Each structure stands twice: as structure tokens, then as C-alpha cells.
């Protein structure tokens, strides 16, 4: 039986994938032992990333080769702006933070580089290249949730459980598999798409690491 294109990309990059989904930040978060200041730092960085993700999806919607794909991509962008953003507002309120607190935060060096990479890829590449670059974020979060969900049973930190619940929902799984199906039906070769998938995956690992170290600009 043939392997779907998206699954083949993941298999080829198994070592990087495993590093991402088993990063200490992730394991400590799901286990409930992550220091709260690290989670606050991550959440504020990730909110800014999600704003950029919505913009990237808007660019890709304009490049979609069919009206149906334009519609689907705009729905993804809308879901990011409404669903995930609304969830983040709830999480921020649990930490006594506001949107104003978050938008004043300067994206760290890794976050800045990652956001610029996705925007540049969306502008310079075609629809399928851009979609391949962004699926790593959506997909790894789903896999992280499925691999580590058992740890939530002993996790007593309410905000950590609330954060994880988003990525364990049927709605989120359906979103990831929708994007996978679009890529699988693209007719593109693994060689065409692997460089974009791989670099985004490396940025995902670096994002966790920067959050774990609470990275700041040196000047």
C-alpha cells in the first residue's frame, strides 16, 4: 500500500519529528511540572505567532489554484483568528494577562525568524509549498497531544490542561487531516516539498527550546 505524501515527509524526518514531540518543554507541560513563568513566556510568544499564521493563510488563499481551495484556506484563517485566538484569550485571562499585555511583547529571535520564514515562503513559493511549511505546526501539536495525553491524568495545573484540550479535540484533528489531504492531493513530489517541511520542523524544535530557555534579545 502506498504511503501518502504528507506521511512520507514525516517518516523521512522521523528523528526531527521525535525531537519535537518529546522536547522537555512539552513533556513538562503535559506532566504539570513546567515552571509557570516559562508557560507565560511561551503563551505570549505563541499568540504573536498565531497572528502571523492568520496572515500567512490569507496570502495562501490568494494563491490557491481553485476556488474550493481558496475557500478552505480562508476557513482555516478564520478558524485561527476566531477559534484559537479566542482560546488564547481564555488562557491569558487564567494567567491574569490581557491582549494588551501580549501585543507589547517583542517576539524573540527564533519566533521572529520563524514568522519571517513562513511569510517569505508564502509570498515566494506556490500554494502547496506554503501549506507544507505551515502544516508542521498544526500537525506536531496534534501528535504531541496524542502521544502525551496520558500525562494529563496527573496534571494538576488547570491552565495546562485547558491549553492541551484544544489539541485533543475532534475539531482540531479534522483541521489537521484536512490540510494533510490537500497536500496529499497536490501531485507534488516529496523532493519538492521536503525542504520546506524540514525547515519548519526545525523551527518548531527551536521554538520550544527558546521558550524553555526564555530566550531574549541580547541588546
Residue 218: the pLDDT is: 86
Half-sphere exposure of 40 (CA within 13 A, CB side): 11
Establish if 144 belongs to a structural domain: yes
Look-up of cell digits 491549553? 163
Establish if 181 belongs to a structural domain: yes
Establish if 216 belongs to a structural domain: no
Cβ contacts of 54 within 8 Å, gap of 6 or more: 77, 80, 81
Count of other CB atoms within 10 angstroms of residue 186: 20
Establish if 219 belongs to a structural domain: no
Q: Which domain holds residue 158?
A: 5-211
Cβ contacts of 137 within 8 Å, gap of 6 or more: 53, 200, 204
Establish if 190 belongs to a structural domain: yes
User: Would you call 15 helix, strand, or coil by DSSP?
Assistant: helix
Per-residue pLDDT for the chain (219 aa), expressed as one digit of tens each?
568 999 999 999 999 999 999 999 999 999 999 999 999 999 999 989 988 998 999 999 999 999 999 998 988 887 776 667 778 888 999 999 888 888 889 999 999 999 999 999 999 999 999 999 999 999 999 999 999 999 999 999 999 999 999 899 998 899 899 999 999 999 999 999 999 999 999 999 999 999 999 999 987
Count of other CB atoms within 10 angstroms of residue 24: 11
Establish if 45 belongs to a structural domain: yes
Residue 51: the pLDDT is: 87
Establish if 165 belongs to a structural domain: yes
- Cα four-point dihedral sign 164, 165, 168, 169: negative
CATH code at position 114: 1.20.910.10
Residue 137: the pLDDT is: 94
Establish if 145 belongs to a structural domain: yes
How many distinct structural domains can be found in the chain? 1
Distance CA 17, CA 178 (A): 20
Count of other CB atoms within 10 angstroms of residue 100: 7
Residue 89: the pLDDT is: 84
Amino acid at each position: 500500500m502506498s504511503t501518502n505524501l504528507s506521511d512520507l515527509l514525516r517518516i523521512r524526518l522521523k528523528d526531527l519529528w521525535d525531537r519535537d514531540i518529546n522536547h522537555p518543554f512539552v513533556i513538562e507541560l503535559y506532566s504539570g511540572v513546567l515552571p509557570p513563568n516559562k508557560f507565560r513566556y511561551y503563551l505570549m510568544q505563541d499568540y504573536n505567532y498565531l497572528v502571523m499564521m492568520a496572515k500567512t493563510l490569507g496570502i495562501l488563499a490568494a494563491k490557491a489554484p481553485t476556488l474550493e481551495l481558496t475557500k478552505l484556506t480562508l476557513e482555516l484563517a478564520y478558524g485561527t483568528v476566531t477559534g484559537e485566538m479566542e482560546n488564547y484569550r481564555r488562557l491569558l485571562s487564567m494567567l491574569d494577562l490581557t491582549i494588551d499585555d501580549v501585543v507589547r511583547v517583542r517576539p524573540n529571535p527564533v519566533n521572529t525568524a520563524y514568522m519571517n520564514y513562513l511569510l517569505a515562503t508564502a509570498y515566494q513559493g506556490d500554494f502547496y509549498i506554503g501549506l507544507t511549511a505551515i502544516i508542521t505546526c498544526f500537525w506536531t501539536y496534534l501528535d504531541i497531544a496524542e502521544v502525551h495525553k496520558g500525562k494529563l491524568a496527573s496534571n494538576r495545573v488547570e491552565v495546562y490542561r485547558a491549553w492541551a484540550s484544544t489539541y485533543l479535540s475532534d475539531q482540531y484533528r479534522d483541521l489537521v487531516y484536512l490540510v494533510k489531504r490537500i497536500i496529499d492531493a497536490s501531485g507534488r513530489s516529496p523532493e519538492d516539498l521536503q525542504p520546506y517541511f524540514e525547515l519548519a520542523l526545525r523551527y518548531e524544535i527551536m521554538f520550544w527550546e527558546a521558550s524553555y530557555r526564555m530566550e531574549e534579545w541580547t541588546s
